Structure 1
Amino acid sequence: MEEYIEGASVEKKGKNQNGGAESQLKFSVSPGAECGIRFGLARSNVN
């Protein structure tokens, strides 16, 4: 029983770490994409 609980807690911890990394990636990518879109819009407006 203890082994099962320990394994479950480790699995949960791993999922949390993956979720955090995924959220961090989305957060770091989104602002760059947003800036790229804004730059593209500004550029097309200038042209």
Structure 2
Amino acid sequence: MTLAHFLHGLRCASCGTLNALWLDLIRALVECHQCGQTALTLTDTDEGRSL
């Protein structure tokens, strides 16, 4: 079982379905439960700081 969070108020970029996206923190993926499209999430390790 993975920890997943519902992404409220967002639409899938692929199929346009509202409120069908889930964030899987363990796998670092966002998935649409309507069409199955997935996207990898990345974290900013520099926290936006420039050199």
TM-score range, shorter chain: under 0.3
Larger strand proportion of the pair: 2
TM-score (norm 2): 0.20
Larger helix proportion of the pair: 1
